[in-house]
Amino acid sequence: MNGAELLPDLEARGLIQDTTDRDALATRLAQGPIRLYHGIDPSAPSLHIGNFVGVLMLRRFQDAGHEPVVLVGGSTGMIGDPGGRSEERNLLDEEALAANVAGIRAQLERLLDLERTALVNNFDWTRNVGVLEFLRDVGKHVTVNQMVARESVRSRMEGEHGISYTEFSYMLLQAFDYWWLHEHRGVDLQIGGSDQWGNIAQGVDLVRRRSGDHVHALTWPLITRADGQKYGKSVDGAVWLDPERTLPYEFHQYWLRVDDRDLRRFLLQLTLLHIEEVDAVVQRHEAAPERRLGQQRLADEITTLVHGPEAAARATLAASALFGTDPLSAAMLEALRGVVPETGVGRSALEGDDALLGILVTTGLAASKGEARRLLEQGGVSVNRERADTAGLTPELLIEGRYLLLQRGKKQRHVVVFEGA
C-alpha cells in the first residue's frame, strides 16, 4: 500500500475521526514518506490492549512507507492526562519510569520494525526547561479560554475533585512535544485517539504560532464494544500485552469471546487483514455463526501480532485440550503448561485400587482421600475429559504415556505429568 492509498484504507476501516485538513494530509502523504508520532503513557511496565490500536496505526503507516516515532511520555507520565479520569493519578518517579519504558520497548519490538522507528522520551527535552522559559515560549501562545473549553478539563473542573494546576498544564506539555519533535525530528503528523483531539490540535496551533509551519493531526474514534463498554476494559481488569501479566492463552480467549456484532469492525481495525479478506471471513462466519470461525480468526491474528505465531498456535491447542472434542494429545497437554496448574508425580502413583484418590489429594483438587471419594461418587471428577467412575488408574489412560488431565467440577483442572520410566 502506498501513501495515496493509506487514508482511503483507514476511512474504509472506520479509523478516521478527525483531521486538521483531510485534503492537505492526503496530498502530503502522496508526496512521499512523512514522519509521524504517537504518544504512549508509561504508567505501567506493559502496554495493554487499549494501547494496541495506536501502535497498530503506527504499523499501518510504517507498512505504507512512512516513518513512525513512538513517544513514551516520561514527563507527561509524571503529570498525567486529565482526560477520562475523575481524580488525580499517582505521580511516577524517574526509576519507575525507566523500568516502565524498558518493558514497553520489549513489546513494541513485536509490533513495529524498531530499526526504522524512533523511540523517544519527552523527559529528555523537558527536564532542563525552566518554568520562565516554558511560560514565555509555550504558555504565552495559549489562552486560558482555550484550555478550559477542552472537554477533558471542563468535566474535571465540574467534578467533585476538581483538577490540579499540574494536570491542567498537561495539554501545554503535549503541545510542546509536537513543536519539539517538529523542530528537531521533522515530525509533521501526530495521531491519537479521539479523546486526544484537543491536545493534538493545541500542538498543531503551537507549531503554527512558533514556527509558522503547517503540520497535521489525525485521530481515530474510541473503540467501544457492542455493549457500550470501552474497548480495552474487562470485568477482571486490564488485558496486558506482557505475557507475564496476561497469559497468551488468556489473551487469545479474550478475543474468542467477542460479540458477533463487533466482529467485522474488530477485524478491520485490530488486524492487518486486507478489507476483502475481512469480508470473506465474516461471510464464512455468518454461514455458521455457532462455529465462531470469525472469532477464531480474530483471536489468531491479534495474538500472532502481539505474541507471535507459536503462541497463537499453543493457545488454540490449549483451548482444544480444555473444551474441544478431538482426542487429547501430548501437544495439547504441553500447551496447557502455565495455563492450568501442573504436578509431577512418579509412575508408582498409578499403583493401587485408589490411585486416583491419592493423585486428587496430591494435586490439591481434594483435601483428603475421603473428600476425593465423595467427589468421585457424586460424578464430580473427570479424567481426560471423561467422567471417572472408579478410583483406580491404569497406564493405558496416560496420554502418550506421560500425561493426565484431571478435572473437578466444571472449572478446576490440573495436568499431571508422570515422570520416570
User: Does pLDDT of 377 surpass 70?
Assistant: yes
pLDDT in tens, 6-44: 999 999 999 999 999 999 999 999 999 999 999 998 888
Q: What pLDDT does 84 receive?
A: 47
Per-residue pLDDT band at 312 (split at 50, 70, 90): very high
Chain centroid to CA 378: how far?
42
User: Does pLDDT of 247 surpass 90?
Assistant: yes
The answer to whether 69 and 222 have CB atoms below 8 angstroms apart is no
- Mean pLDDT, all residues of the chain: 91
Q: What pLDDT does 123 receive?
A: 87
In Å, what is the CA distance from 401 to each residue of 336, 404, 419?
Answer: 17, 9, 10
User: Does pLDDT of 240 surpass 60?
Assistant: yes
User: Does pLDDT of 292 surpass 90?
Assistant: yes
Domains detected in the chain: 3-220 (3.40.50.620), 248-326 (1.10.240.10), 342-419 (3.10.290.10)
> Which amino acid is located at 355 in the chain?
A
* Cα(406)–Cα(356) distance, integer angstroms: 10
User: Does pLDDT of 86 surpass 50?
Assistant: no
> Count of CB atoms within 10 A of residue 129's CB?
15
Mean pLDDT of 89-93: 61
User: Does pLDDT of 398 surpass 60?
Assistant: yes
Q: Which helix (H) or strand (E) holds 38?
A: strand 35-40
Identify the residue whose cell numbers are 485534503.
23
Answering whether pTM is above 0.95, one says no
User: Does pLDDT of 401 surpass 80?
Assistant: yes
pLDDT in tens, 323-346: 999 999 999 999 999 999 999 999
